[in-house]
Amino acid sequence: MGRCDGKVALVTGASRGIGKGIARRLASEGAAVVLNASRMGRHGELPGTLEDVVAEFESEGLQAAAIACDLKDPAAREGLIERASAFFGPIDILVNNAAAGIMKPPSATTNADRSFMFELNVNAPVDLAQQCLPAMQAAGRGWILNIGSATSSQPELPYRDSKQAAWIIGAYGATKAALDRYTVALAHEVQEHEIFVNCMMPTSIVLTSGADYVREIARKNPDWVEPVEMMAEGALELCSGRHVGRVITSRDIVHYAARKVHRLDGKAVLGDAFLAADVEATA
């Protein structure tokens, strides 16, 4: 019996990368998954579409569906959870993974830049969580996981990278800090309804197709990266356990819960919280 049997999960930003990895791991434990991205078809330069992911999951006998929504548009977000629930039933698990950053020094980040990031990185997760709460309260169960970032804290001196690199993550990090704070407050409010709200951030840069630029650095600094399986395993724990208001890294939750890190299909154990970053054994 899987840890997510009989549950329905919605994962945003799931056409590739971390979102896809988390969705696959939840599906391996029995969840029916609804995958979200800003649009159907290809978007951006990286490979991966919602249609591709659904077809891949279904070919493995998993329940999957896709729903396109531009989450930075408040009007487009209205009723999204209701529409997503039409596929497999009410949403039991919400994973707010979609996010974006505009990398400029704090002195040069415009109002438009800040508004864009706060709309997608803060307001969208909060809106979707609020849309999910009535059905979760009626069911007497629910899990909401917000994906955070270590950029919510200013890097300590001396910077491991350049000082410019530390500066340009400031505005993006501010959105993630806001999400951390909101996560904890909401978690404390809704825990009496058996709704468990948490925030998990990568311990290091997650080695996905969107992080190819770090592969050369990773050969010299392996602690800068982690396999996507680590994020997926941490997400599974926070989307099936009884943790309340945690703002925690992927490795820390895996270690705390004494979990083994599995392949995304759940069929093999790769290691534990000390899994080497050079393990790339996706399903």
What is the DSSP code (8-state) at residue 278? T
Angle at 262 (CA atoms; ends 258, 265), nearest 5 degrees: 145
Looking at the DSSP bridge assignments, the partners of residue 271 are 261
CA dihedral of residues 41, 103, 207, 162 (deg, nearest 10): 160
CA dihedral of residues 21, 25, 26, 28 (deg, nearest 10): 140
The three-class DSSP label of residue 191 is helix
The three-class DSSP label of residue 22 is helix
Catalytic residue among 159, 172, 182, 213: 172
Residue 94 burial by CB count (10 A; 0-12/13-18/19+): exposed, middle or buried? buried
C-alpha span between 119 and 99 (Å, rounded): 10
Active site residue 172: yes
Strands 93-96 and 142-147 turn out to be parallel
Is there a cis peptide before residue 222, judged by omega within 30 degrees of 0? no
- Which H or E run contains 68? strand 64-68
**Residue 239 Cα to chain centre, angstroms:** 11
C-alpha span between 205 and 228 (Å, rounded): 9
**Residue 200 Cα to chain centre, angstroms:** 8
**Active site (catalytic) residues:** 172
